[in-house]
Amino acid sequence: MTAPVISCKNVWKLFGAQPEKYLSSLTGNPSFDDIRQAGYIAAVRDVTLDISKGEMLVIMGLSGSGKSTFVRCLSRLIDITGGEVKVEGENIGDMSERELIDLRRNKMGMVFQSFGLLPHRTVLDNVAFPLEMRGQDRHERRARAMEVVELVGLAGREDYFPRELSGGQQQRVGIARSLAIEPDIWFLDEPFSALDPLIRREMQDEFLRLQEMLGKTIVFITHDFDEALRLADRIAIMKDGVVEQCDTPDQIVLNPATEYVAKFTEEIDKARVVHAKGMVQPVNGHMLTGDAISGDKTILELARLLVNDSRDYLPVSGRDGAIIGSLSRQKALDVLLGDAA
């Protein structure tokens, strides 16, 4: 198994007078309110998780849950109070300022909710700006900037100024600018939340297309559960600085680990989210006959087949066509129609 690109172990971020001293004095598992009564804010509490190469991890939670602070800890935009964060095996807490700047300039791309475009610069010059900061030759940086401008669908608008663009187009410029340095790791903090629903959906489509092409390791923050379900390989749900559950969308919806996660998922149409591969089980001697169903199909997409089929267990195939297990028709119908009373 390959080593994670980002590895967090027992990460804490406390705000207050002497956070390191207070953290070292903690025993047991104090609550958010216990810590607050002591005069500290626990923005991130004892978070341990790994992020794999090419994975899209979506972090979500309500305002104040700690999601933005946690992501800033991953790039050391904020210094952590305790624990460790490793990027490609290197503890970023031990890095010098120069090493950290090199890491951010060469390995990390960042996109935030506010576009942060330079109003007096054209689209092309905005996109080329991080390459200019890197000291890259003018001809090379403009050529690279033009590549990513075309990649995000803004060819023909490279000489426009930000004020001449729509909100969605401005966000594309922000995405292009972060891609210009060809980052291995991409941090996005609610990049589409300021957009209207139609443009937001278009940007999600564009984002999925880019990820299919580029295969970046992505940490994406959102408070929109539908957006998370659409984009994520895994979802981490945060509350009061704690990761309540980190799992695939299918498992978050099917098997919420806590009451808080269950509240997040109670309004979700499970059949629209859960895929056949998310419910697959070992064959275990089940008699499997007939055509296999694709593991990538949702239960909703399989609805007609499930209602009309008479098989108790249906063979499920992976993307290569090989059988990966069986699907209980009754369990799938329970997801589709609701559990029997």
Q: Is the pLDDT of residue 245 over 90?
A: yes
Residues 58-98 have pLDDT tens digits of: 999 888 899 999 999 999 999 999 999 999 999 999 999 99
The answer to whether the CB of 95 falls within 8 A of the CB of 112 is no
Residues forming beta bridges with residue 42, ordered by sequence position: 14
Please report, in angstroms and rounded to a whole number, the separation of the first and last CA atoms in the chain: 43
Q: Is the pLDDT of residue 198 over 90?
A: no
Q: Which two tokens stand for residue 70?
A: 């946690």
Q: 120-217, which class in CATH?
A: alpha beta
Q: Taking residues 319-334, report their average pLDDT.
A: 91
The answer to whether the CB of 184 falls within 8 A of the CB of 173 is no
Share of the chain above pLDDT 70, in %: 98
* Residue the block writes with tokens 């129609």: 337
Distances in Å between the Cα of 19 and the Cα atoms of 36, 195, 300, 321 are 12, 37, 49, 54
Say which residue, 116 or 177, is predicted with more confidence: 177
User: Comparing 1-95+233-268 with 120-217, is the CATH topology the same?
Assistant: yes
* Residue the block writes with tokens 């004020």: 163
Strands (E), the chain: 6-15, 41-51, 56-60, 82-87, 90-91, 108-112, 185-189, 217-222, 234-239, 242-247, 293-294, 313-317, 323-328
Architecture of domain 271-337 in this structure: Roll (3.10)
Q: Is the pLDDT of residue 44 over 60?
A: yes
Measured CA to CA, the distance from residue 89 to residue 336 in angstroms comes to 43
Distances in Å between the Cα of 79 and the Cα atoms of 13, 64, 75, 123, 240 are 8, 18, 9, 33, 19
Measured CA to CA, the distance from residue 136 to residue 341 in angstroms comes to 66
Q: What is the mean pLDDT of the chain?
A: 89
Q: Taking residues 292-310, report their average pLDDT.
A: 92
Q: Is the pLDDT of residue 339 over 80?
A: no
Side chain identity at 181, as an amino acid letter? Answer: I
Per-residue pLDDT, 341:
43
Residues 210-232 have pLDDT tens digits of: 888 888 899 999 988 888 988 99
- Domain spans, the chain: 1-95+233-268, 120-217, 271-337
Superfamily of domain 1-95+233-268, CATH level 4: P-loop containing nucleotide triphosphate hydrolases (3.40.50.300)
The vertex-218 CA angle with 212 and 222, nearest 5°, equals: 105
Say which residue, 222 or 194, is predicted with more confidence: 222
Q: Which of 184-198, 219-233, 239-253 has the lowest mean pLDDT?
A: 184-198
Q: Is the pLDDT of residue 17 over 70?
A: yes
Instruction: Centre a 10 Å sphere on the Cβ of residue 156 and count the other Cβ atoms it contains.
Output: 10
pTM for this entry = 0.85
Share of the chain above pLDDT 90, in %: 57
pLDDT band (50, 70, 90) for residue 202: confident
Residues 95-135 have pLDDT tens digits of: 999 999 889 888 888 887 666 789 999 999 999 998 888 88
